Amino acid sequence: MAEVTADTGDGAALSLDAPPSTEAYEAFKLEQRGIELIPETDRPMKPSGLFWMWAGAIWNVEFLVYGALIMSFGLSFNEAVIAILVGNLVYAFLGWASLPGPETGTTAFMVSRAPFGRNGNRAPSLFNWMTQVGFEIEGMVLVVLIVKAMFNHQGIGIDAGWKAIILVLAVGVQFILPFLGHATIIKALRYLSFVFIILFAIMAAVVLPNAHLASLKGAHVTWWVWTTALVLIVSAGGLGWTENAADYSRYLPKDTSKAKTFWAATLGGAIPSILLELLGAAAYLASPKAAVATGVPAAFGAASWFFWPFLIIALPQIFCINTIDMYSSGVTLQAIGIPVKRWGCVIIDTIICGAVAALVLYKGNFYTDLAGFLDYIVVWLGPWFGILMVDYLLRRGRYDVTSLAAKRGGVYWRNGGINWKAMFALFAGMFAAMMWIDAAFYFPAFTSYLSTKTFGADFSWLFGLVVGAAIYYVLSVSSVRKETLPISK
């Protein structure tokens, strides 16, 4: 990236790696911007666009799978409903994490430099990149499984060679939207969301009569199993999207109402997530094995004609949700410090995603791996989010954007580019999360001390978030306020 020199106002010159850049915001044109600061004049997005972007991504077969997956833990339908409703309240976290985007005009892990420092921020950025790629792999594997289900429906078996061909084709298709960039993603998801809503309304009409609703109560599971299901919903939903939030809200003008930004992201994510997970849980009652595998019951009764329309539309849905992750993983690579343009980072991520997806398909146990992945990512994600939001509150939502983009120096440089207070809070929060996690059936298998003492309860996501946030607040309350920009008159 081109380097420019900026004056901070106190005579200190900063070397920037993400200067403001002017570029027309157009769909179906390659976006050259990555983590660059976006000038006010180049932010045409509206809160409604943010709402439909999240809705378009989450009206998705993956969320049907999540609803069916927690039913496979042995929950009754009523217990699953409570887990889904409670777990999706944390979409408020997505709304909250979207607020720094319009304020700064840059991405989530550029904003994350404020609490952690430029060099300290490399650690959570790396964790995020691994998380985004993990979700991308999940989507690629689901694409292959859905195509396999299509062939099986016709009585045609799929061998290892055909799986490889399908995966290569899927990777090629997946590459397109994240490569083109933000404007293309927003526009495509807005219009596709209407198609997806119609599809799932039809599916609800098809599935519910076959869901054996007379057996709603079922057998009750223990408290610890329910909390594990709750972790999955939280991780796959509101908390699991916080690290993407500012990447998409950054194209909103700085003077956009904070309330509108908050509710656009919160409701755009929560509404489809709740409805789809409830439908996935009902689909499990109709056909347990098929519902977990593809999100759709194998037997539609009189409406078996719906099998093909559903699976054909399910494919672009998965590509859409993977687009969100792949775009964010690209700009996260840049925030780590990889000297590659955003579209180049997308190419790197696409290759890695395809290679690891192949390993999962041929060597892994997808559903066990998926549940374990969702359980473990909250170990870093909860503390990071808690620290970021405490930092946002302490500095009253105001950032020195020049310092965020600086290679050296500036308000957030501190000790060699590392804020050790934030780093300590992050790793203390991660340790706390590990002390209340139950991952006995995943790899690596681990049951924590607090989980053992509470009969297998898993509150890793909440405990890590609270501990990380509290420690950061105690250590940083005075220093962060000194860094805060004064209110402009």
Q: How many CB atoms lie within 10 A of CB 344?
A: 16
Which residues are CB-contacts of 258 (< 8 A; sequence separation ≥ 6)? 99, 397
The residue written with tokens 């996260």 in the block is 332
For residue 249, what pLDDT is reported? 96
Per-residue pLDDT tens digits of the chain, which is 489 residues long: 333 333 333 334 455 666 666 667 788 888 888 898 998 888 999 999 999 999 988 988 889 888 988 888 888 888 999 999 999 999 999 999 999 999 999 999 999 999 999 999 999 999 999 999 998 998 898 888 888 888 887 888 888 888 889 999 999 998 899 999 888 988 888 888 888 888 888 888 877 777 765 555 555 677 788 988 998 999 989 999 999 999 999 999 999 999 999 999 999 999 999 999 998 888 888 766 555 555 554 444 445 667 777 778 888 888 888 899 999 999 999 999 989 999 999 999 999 999 998 988 887 677 677 778 888 999 999 999 999 999 999 999 999 999 999 988 899 999 999 999 999 999 999 999 999 998 777 667 888 889 888 888 889 999 999 999 999 999 999 999 888 766 554
Whose tokens are 């989450």? That residue is 58
| Closest to 324 measured CA to CA, from 393, 262, 253, 240 | 240
Dist CA 72 CA 66 (whole Å): 10
Dist. CA 83–CA 66, nearest whole Å: 11
Which are the contacts of 214, defined by CB distance < 8 A and separation ≥ 6? none
Question: Sign (positive/negative) of CA torsion 281, 59, 329, 40?
Answer: negative
Instruction: Name the strand (E) or helix (H) holding 3.
Output: none
Host H or E run for residue 4: strand 4-7
**What confidence score (pLDDT) does residue 304 get?**
63
Give the tokens for residue 32.
């050259």
Q: Please identify which residue in the block is written with the tokens 């996690």.
A: 437
Rounded to two decimals, the pTM is: 0.86
Closest to 335 measured CA to CA, from 280, 284, 405 = 405
Using a 10 angstrom Cβ sphere, with 0-12 exposed, 13-18 middle and 19 or more buried, the burial of residue 453 is exposed
CA-CA distance, 224 to 71, in Å (whole number)? Answer: 14
Nearest partner of 457 among 473, 480, 437, judged by Cα: 437
- Rounded to 5 degrees, what angle do the CA atoms 419, 423, 426 make? 140
Confidence (pLDDT) at 218: 52
Q: Where are the domains of the chain?
A: 45-383
pLDDT, residue 400, reads: 93
Q: Kindly report the CATH class assigned to 45-383.
A: mainly alpha
pLDDT score recorded for residue 212: 66
Helix (H) or strand (E) holding 46: none
Give CA separation, 145 vs 79, 366, 392, 443, in Å: 28, 10, 41, 22
Residue 67 near residue 80 (C-beta atoms within 8 A): yes
Nearest to 264 by CA among 38, 105, 43, 98: 98
